[in-house]
Amino acid sequence: MRTVLVTGGSSGIGLATCNMLMKAGYVVYSASRSGNGSITEDISGGRVISIKMDVNKEEEIKSVVETIVRDNQRIYALVCNAGNGIGGSIEDTSVEEIRYQFETNYFGAMKTIEAVIPVMRKQGAGKIVTLSSVAGIIPIPYQGFYSAVKAALLQTTKVMKIELRPFGIDCCAVLPGDTKTGFTANRKYTAAAMDTNSAYYDKCTASLKKMEHDEQNGMSPDAIAKAITRQLSRRRMATMVIPGFTYKLFGLLGRILPNRLILWIVGLMYS
Ligand SMILES: NC(=O)c1ccc[n+]([C@@H]2O[C@H](COP(=O)([O-])OP(=O)(O)OC[C@H]3O[C@@H](n4cnc5c(N)ncnc54)[C@H](OP(=O)(O)O)[C@@H]3O)[C@@H](O)[C@H]2O)c1
């Protein structure tokens, strides 16, 4: 049976992905800080094993990877989904807050990927899916460091696709647009952004409110899970996948329109 490790499997897109993979017959390790060891089984023979793993703790990642290899001999795929968002203008975000934004989304993903690659290299096969975002292509004001971390993840995934191909390892970045999950409620505003004296306070607050409304009226996490599951079933995965027609179009425009025009449109939407 194919074994998949999904980070951030306890809610939203990760949870939907774990359930969909289970129904497709995979053995899924759903990793999160709240993992509790429970096992859910499906009629297909697939199952989801909930495990405690903070992607920022290398010893927890190492132990989980060892457990998966011990119990299953192989790791078919890794889905790096754990993430969070912060809100605030560039000026209103401290270096500590920037580090926080990169910690789980980037360094956490990289720590997990670097723990799994040696196993996949030894197998001569493997698939790695990362969760970037449409915000990784289109710059989003007042979520600048979220945009930055998702762009970094996207670019790194493309590089991995080149470097890991000789070892039989394939990589794919999935870029959701607004998706209705707990992500919105989990977003942290930077300290300076919450100060009513901030030069950005009105614009930042109004823009984030609009973005949060769009998220909560956005795509279902199942639609993103479907895209991830589909890629994992393919012999060769796409380099980049944007689920949903509207966001595919945004992604395309973000890549082909002149920067000046993109920034003008985004500025009109959020300023
Ligand atoms: N929702 C959107 O609109 C949207 C759009 C584009 C991209 N994305 C990306 O999609 C991914 C999933 O987001 P979501 O919308 O499903 O958010 P979510 O509902 O808030 O889920 C986040 C998941 O990450 C886990 N997590 C957070 N910190 C972790 C850590 N240090 N170690 C391990 N797990 C951790 C959480 O579980 P615990 O708290 O139990 O650890 C939870 O399972 C993220 O990478 C996000 O950036 C989301």
Domains and CATH numbers, the chain: 3-270 (3.40.50.720)
Q: Is 30 in the pocket of ligand 1 (CB under 6 A)?
A: no
- CA 35 – CA 50 distance, rounded (Å): 5
The pLDDT-based confidence of 192 (bands split at 50, 70, 90) is very high
Residue among 101, 179, 242 to mutate when testing ligand 1 (max atoms within 8 A of CB): 179
Q: Quick one: what percent of the chain has pLDDT higher than 70?
A: 100
pLDDT for residue 22: 98
pLDDT higher than threshold 90 for residue 271: no
Q: Is 89 in the pocket of ligand 1 (CB under 6 A)?
A: no
Tens digits of per-residue pLDDT, 77-114?
999 999 999 999 999 999 999 999 999 999 999 999 99
Contact 32, 14 (CB under 8 A): yes
Closest to 91 (Cα-Cα) out of 18, 12, 159, 192: 192
Please spell the DSSP secondary structure of 16-70, one letter per residue.
HHHHHHHHTT-EEEEEETT----EEE-TTS-EEEEEE--TT-HHHHHHHHHHHHH
Whole-prediction pTM: 0.97
The catalytic residues are 10, 132, 146, 150
What average pLDDT does the chain have? 97
Pairing relation of β-strands 77-80 and 47-52? unpaired
The pLDDT-based confidence of 3 (bands split at 50, 70, 90) is very high
Q: Is 130 in the pocket of ligand 1 (CB under 6 A)?
A: no
Q: Is 131 in the pocket of ligand 1 (CB under 6 A)?
A: yes
pLDDT for residue 235: 96
Tens digits of per-residue pLDDT, 196-239?
999 999 999 999 999 999 999 999 999 999 999 999 999 999 99
DSSP code for 90 = S
Q: Is 104 in the pocket of ligand 1 (CB under 6 A)?
A: yes
CA of 84 to the centre of ligand 1 (A): 5
CA of 32 to the centre of ligand 1 (A): 9
As a whole number, mean pLDDT of residues 26-38 equals 97
